[in-house]
């Protein structure tokens, strides 16, 4: 299984103690294990309606060992947060793409399975596994029991960037991008050393939007898409300012890469990446108005 590991040392330090506290354990009164084999719950019917019928997407929220990584001690996602995550994935992700993409785009290319895991998965070296994917088709989202709607940055970091990252892998695996992209950072890619190659903000100056971007061109490509659409124009510009500090060429490289991505998304997928970003941002800003506990089929 291909594993995608994001280095989030700071976040890991902040959240490791919290994830060990009693408060984060799932409510023992709410069963996460289906005892009604073959009988669909109201939530299952809702998932059928919002995900399976339109997009052929299965959201796995019940505890299924085989769909998770047995190398970690993991906790199931709570029912309550699974409902919220389902509605969040639909509202922030699928509906945003649907607004700006051609008919059938999501049904054809969006990942086919998303598994929700309650806890994070930590490694000894302080890195946290944020999502795993097998050929982009199956995605696992961790830390679902830590869902905090009041913190947009963690919503992006824990869940949505993982989805956008993996979805973008499917796109370039379907239609490859120009090798001009690979040449912009050329010999600056560091492979497996991405985790320790950069000091604070150094990746920006080298022309990478994240440490993980510096692993190799495919990761760079999908990280750029995932970060671009989860930043406001102002927060993106703030990163470009860091990228040009001390006369570094980071801004120029990031702009060159984004120009290739902008053209690629428009030419091959008929998607305006700026319109996609606007759709995601306005939805995230409107979250307080959305009933994320709803499982009623309209």
Residues contributing to the site for Zn ion (CB under 5 A): 4, 219
Yes or no: say if 170 and 109 are a contact pair by the CB < 8 Å rule.
yes
Exposed/middle/buried for residue 29 (C-beta within 10 Å: 0-12, 13-18, 19+) = exposed
**What is the sign of the dihedral through the CA atoms of 76, 57, 95 and 175?**
positive
CB of 131 to Zn ion, least distance (A): 9
Complex with Zn ion: residue 3 or 107, whichever CB lies closer: 3
CB of 219 to Zn ion, least distance (A): 5
Exposed/middle/buried for residue 2 (C-beta within 10 Å: 0-12, 13-18, 19+) = exposed
CB of 39 to Zn ion, least distance (A): 37
CB of 142 to Zn ion, least distance (A): 15
Task: Name residue, tokens 């990746």.
Answer: 203
User: Shortest Cβ contact with Zn ion: which residue?
Assistant: 4
Complex with Zn ion: residue 117 or 133, whichever CB lies closer: 133
CB of 2 to Zn ion, least distance (A): 8
Complex with Zn ion: residue 120 or 217, whichever CB lies closer: 217
Which tokens go with 226?
Answer: 């995932």
Complex with Zn ion: residue 111 or 219, whichever CB lies closer: 219
Complex with Zn ion: residue 4 or 280, whichever CB lies closer: 4
How far are the Cα atoms of 62, 132, 153, 238, 284 from residue 114, in angstroms, in the given order? 12, 10, 21, 32, 20
From the CA atom positions of the chain, what is the Rg in Å? 19
Complex with Zn ion: residue 61 or 194, whichever CB lies closer: 194
Complex with Zn ion: residue 4 or 209, whichever CB lies closer: 4
Yes or no: say if 243 and 204 are a contact pair by the CB < 8 Å rule.
yes
CB of 132 to Zn ion, least distance (A): 10
Complex with Zn ion: residue 4 or 276, whichever CB lies closer: 4
Cα angle vertex 183, ends 181, 188, to 5°? 110
CB of 98 to Zn ion, least distance (A): 23
CB of 4 to Zn ion, least distance (A): 5
């Amino acid at each position: 299984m291909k594993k995608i590991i994001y280095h989030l040392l700071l976040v890991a330090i902040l959240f490791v103690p919290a994830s060990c506290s009693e408060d984060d354990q799932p409510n023992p009164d709410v069963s996460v294990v289906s005892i009604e084999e073959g009988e669909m719950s109201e939530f299952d019917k809702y998932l059928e309606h919002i995900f399976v019928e339109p997009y052929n997407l299965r959201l796995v929220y019940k505890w299924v060992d085989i769909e998770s990584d047995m190398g970690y001690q993991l906790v199931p996602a709570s029912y309550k947060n699974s409902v919220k995550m389902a509605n969040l994935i639909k509202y922030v992700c699928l509906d945003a793409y649907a607004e700006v993409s051609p008919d059938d785009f999501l049904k054809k290319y969006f990942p086919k399975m998303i598994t929700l895991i309650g806890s994070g998965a930590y490694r000894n070296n302080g890195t946290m596994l944020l999502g795993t994917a097998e050929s982009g088709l199956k995605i696992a989202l961790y830390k679902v029991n830590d869902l905090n709607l009041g913190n947009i940055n963690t919503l992006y970091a824990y869940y949505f960037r993982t989805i956008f990252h993996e979805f973008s892998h499917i796109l370039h695996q379907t239609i490859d991008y120009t090798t001009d992209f690979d040449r912009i950072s050329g010999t600056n890619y560091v492979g497996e050393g991405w985790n320790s190659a950069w000091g604070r903000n150094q990746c920006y100056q080298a022309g990478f939007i994240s440490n993980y971007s510096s692993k190799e061109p495919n990761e760079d490509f999908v990280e750029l898409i995932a970060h671009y659409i989860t930043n406001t124009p102002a927060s993106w510009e703030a990163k470009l300012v860091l990228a040009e500090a001390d006369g570094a060429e980071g801004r120029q490289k990031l702009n060159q890469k984004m120009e290739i991505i902008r053209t690629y998304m428009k030419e091959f997928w008929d998607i305006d990446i700026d319109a996609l970003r606007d759709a995601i941002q306005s939805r995230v800003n409107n979250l307080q108005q959305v009933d994320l506990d709803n499982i009623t089929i309209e």
